[in-house]
Amino acid sequence: MSDCIFCQIVQGRANCHRVYEDDEVLAFLDIFPVSPGHVLVIPKEHAVDIFDLEETSAQAVARVARKVAYAVEETLRPDGLMVAQLNREAAGQTVFHYHMHLIPRAAGDSMAMHTRVPGDPGEMAGIASRLVVALEH
Ligand code: 5GP
Ligand code: ZN
């Protein structure tokens, strides 16, 4: 879909801090991170939400989410890791291309989705490259 920002990222028409990619799935850092290392995992094929998602895409995204979770664990050593996935506006969905959030959590932190505070580009680039390395082995 040409007006979908995540499709534009898949097609290389918009930038992202990519951490992992295979034939079906792309994982990259959220531009408004809830915490450092906030990753989004998406199917390359456009699907609006979980109700529009092919089972094979769901399996592919879940497999990559688990893989990225291990890389985040190994690289950033968070106290906890939240996996979230929002469907439809009423649930808080703001980008209508299916995605899973992986959000590193610190003990005692206050959870705030959609902070709209842009991540520091240098910090994001550093984290993305560390995760890329972790995902290469
Ligand atoms: P949702 O609310 O739909 O579950 O989450 C959408 C997420 O996409 C938000 O956390 C938002 O920060 C992130 N996001 C929106 N636009 C972009 C973008 O252009 N690039 C990246 N990397 N993340 C985006
Ligand atoms: Zn899309």
- Assign 86 a pLDDT band (cuts: 50, 70, 90): very high
Which residue, by CA, sits nearest to atom 13 of ligand 1? 30
- Assign 116 a pLDDT band (cuts: 50, 70, 90): confident
Q: How far is the CA of 45 from the centre of ligand 2 (A)?
A: 7
Q: How far is the CA of 58 from the centre of ligand 2 (A)?
A: 15
Q: For the chain, give every domain's residue range.
A: 5-135
Q: Quick one: tokens of 27?
A: 């994982």
CA distances from 114 to 32, 33, 127 (A): 7, 8, 20
DSSP secondary structure of 89-129: GGGT--S-S--EEEEEE-TTPPP-S----PPPHHHHHHHHH
Q: Could you tell me which CATH number the domain at 5-135 has?
A: 3.30.428.10
User: 74 and 67 in contact (C-beta within 8 Å)?
Assistant: no
Pairwise pLDDT comparison (23 vs 134), residue with the higher score: 23
Q: Which of 32, 46, 93, 127 to mutate to test the pocket of ligand 1 (most atoms within 8 A of CB)?
A: 32
Does the pTM surpass 0.85? The reply is: yes
Catalytic residue among 17, 38, 99, 101: 99
pLDDT of residue 114: 60
Residue with tokens 């985040």: 72
pLDDT of residue 80: 96
Q: How far is the CA of 6 from the centre of ligand 2 (A)?
A: 5
pLDDT digits 0-9 by tens, 45-62: 999 999 999 999 999 999
